[in-house]
């Protein structure tokens, strides 16, 4: 099977799906690997490094002629680049990448219409044996780190406490809202920079993880027992719950110099945790980094990839923090992709067995149809009949 690494064309995307170190093992396992010329350059991997690892450098046309395409961004996740990529898809080609299937089901449907088989890496189940394939974790981890650096660079003060002959500087107060993968790394990074860190999450199980990083867990007198859904994700709660949450968070937000927002509900609009009124109670010069800006935002007024200043508070809405550290995010993504591909091959790629949970959960389109139940639902299609129906 010929596997191609595509050069990303989404604006500002500097990651690459496979780094040279991940090529060797795939070639050894019997796959032919071709790499679109220049694919890894922005991630620190020139064509020569791929050649040395056993790959062949090819044009974009030749890359798209391969049996299997590896990408960081495919379908809806490729944004404005998608129509051009879609038109290049050959019938029967396999596309593996982040495809934003739950928010952009229509783009996945277009790929299905062209006869492509799509595996969306965002759908890798959060189970122990799939941990090394989990792109959401590998990328969110570094995004959480970058979010704190961004905030620290924007804040007109320093983070650590300093006692000097010229006086004592008190530590900055950092509040992290949502303590999943990105949030926990944001906590750890802010701690390393010397800030006084507190964090809040709607899932009660997180308290211990927050405390183990040396941060304070913000306890709100609000019932969160039902907030955790299957797979460890947060469940969407009613508007009454969110209103009460905002009311209780107001004081902590007002006292913070930096707020890093990471709260997400899979496949849904992000919950609003910080209102304009809460922003107006923060000290001028404070900084909010809203990592949920692309999904509607945790903070009212945040705009994707824009800097908004409200009452002297700077609100940043970065949407692609992983692309700001492309060497490491690509290294980790490549490990995820290579492990996933090897798994699919073991499961009989191209005709993977759907008895396997990892194959079943990630397969979005095959045989000209959307086959993933949730993606079908999002595309407004009826459920497919189950076996024997
Ligand atoms: P995510 O990106 O979907 O959400 C980020 C965080 O926001 C979550 O912790 C969520 O609880 C929180 N959140 C949602 N609504 C909120 C609200 N109203 N107020 C405050 N916080 C809110 O989550 P994620 O980082 O992808 O992680 C989800 C879970 O999956 C975590 O429990 C994580 O530990 C787990 N996980 C498991 C594995 C594995 O076992 N293989 C791998 C990775 C992650």
pLDDT tens-digit map of 135-167 = 999 999 999 999 999 999 999 999 999 999 999
Cα 183 to averaged position of ligand 1 atoms, centre (Å): 9
pLDDT of residue 239 exceeding 90, the answer is: no
Between CA 182 and CA 141 the distance in angstroms is 5
Mean pLDDT score, 282-294: 97
Helices marked H in 70-180: 82-86, 105-113, 135-154
Which of 59-73, 82-96, 237-251, 292-306 shows the lowest per-residue confidence on average (mean pLDDT)? Answer: 237-251
Cα 386 to averaged position of ligand 1 atoms, centre (Å): 31
Q: Is 60 a catalytic residue?
A: no
From the CB of 278, is ligand 1 less than 6 Å away?
no
Which residue's alpha carbon is nearest to atom 8 within ligand 1? 180
Cα 261 to averaged position of ligand 1 atoms, centre (Å): 12
Between CA 227 and CA 282 the distance in angstroms is 28
Nearest to 341, CA basis, from 324, 312, 362:
362
Mean pLDDT score, 238-256: 89
Q: Is 280 a catalytic residue?
A: no
DSSP per residue, 209-232: HHHHTTPEEPP-SS--TT-B-GGG
Q: Is 131 a catalytic residue?
A: yes
Given 47, 85, 100, 134, which residue is catalytic?
134
From the CB of 233, is ligand 1 less than 6 Å away?
yes
For residue 333, what pLDDT is reported? 98
Question: What pTM was estimated for this model as a whole?
Answer: 0.94
For residue 238, what pLDDT is reported? 81
Mean pLDDT score, 272-299: 96
Which of 176-190, 209-223, 234-248, 288-302 shows the lowest per-residue confidence on average (mean pLDDT)? Answer: 234-248
For residue 389, what pLDDT is reported? 47
From the CB of 266, is ligand 1 less than 6 Å away?
yes
For residue 220, name the pLDDT band (cuts at 50, 70, 90). Answer: confident
């Amino acid at each position: 099977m010929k596997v191609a690494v595509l050069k990303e064309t989404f604006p500002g995307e500097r990651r690459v799906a496979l780094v040279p170190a991940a090529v060797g093992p795939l070639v050894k396992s019997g796959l032919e690997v071709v790499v679109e010329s220049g694919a890894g350059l922005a991630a620190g991997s020139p064509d020569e490094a791929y050649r040395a690892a056993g790959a062949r450098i090819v044009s974009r046309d030749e890359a798209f002629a391969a049996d299997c395409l590896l990408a960081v961004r495919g379908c809806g996740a490729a944004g404005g680049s998608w129509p051009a990529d879609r038109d290049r898809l050959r019938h029967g080609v396999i596309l593996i990448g982040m495809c934003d299937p739950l928010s952009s089901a229509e783009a996945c449907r277009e790929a299905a219409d062209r006869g492509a088989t799509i595996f969306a890496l965002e759908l890798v189940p959060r189970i122990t044996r799939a941990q090394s394939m989990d792109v959401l974790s590998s990328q969110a981890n570094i995004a959480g780190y970058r979010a704190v650096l961004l905030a620290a660079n924007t804040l007109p003060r320093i983070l650590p406490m300093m006692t000097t002959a010229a006086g004592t500087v008190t530590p900055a107060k950092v509040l992290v809202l949502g303590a999943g993968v990105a949030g926990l790394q944001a906590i750890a990074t802010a701690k390393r920079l010397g800030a006084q860190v507190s964090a809040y999450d709607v899932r009660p199980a997180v308290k211990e993880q927050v405390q183990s990083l040396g941060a304070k867990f913000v306890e709100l007198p609000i019932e969160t027992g039902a907030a955790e859904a299957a797979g460890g994700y947060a469940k969407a709660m009613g508007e009454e719950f969110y209103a009460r949450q905002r009311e209780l968070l107001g004081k902590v937000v007002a006292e913070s110099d930096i707020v890093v927002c990471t709260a997400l509900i899979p496949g849904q609009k992000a919950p609003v945790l910080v209102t304009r009124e809460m922003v107006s109670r923060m000290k001028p010069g404070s900084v909010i980094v809203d990592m949920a800006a692309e999904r509607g935002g945790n903070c009212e007024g945040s705009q994707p990839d824009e800097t908004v200043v409200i009452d002297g508070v700077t609100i940043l809405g970065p949407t692609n923090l992983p692309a700001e550290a492309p060497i490491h995010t690509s290294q980790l993504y490549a490990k995820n992709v290579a492990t996933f591909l090897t798994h699919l091959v073991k499961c009989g790629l191209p005709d993977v067995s759907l008895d396997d949970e990892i194959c079943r959960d990630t397969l979005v389109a095959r045989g000209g149809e959307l086959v993933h139940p949730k993606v079908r639902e999002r595309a407004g299609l009826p459920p497919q009949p189950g076996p024997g129906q």
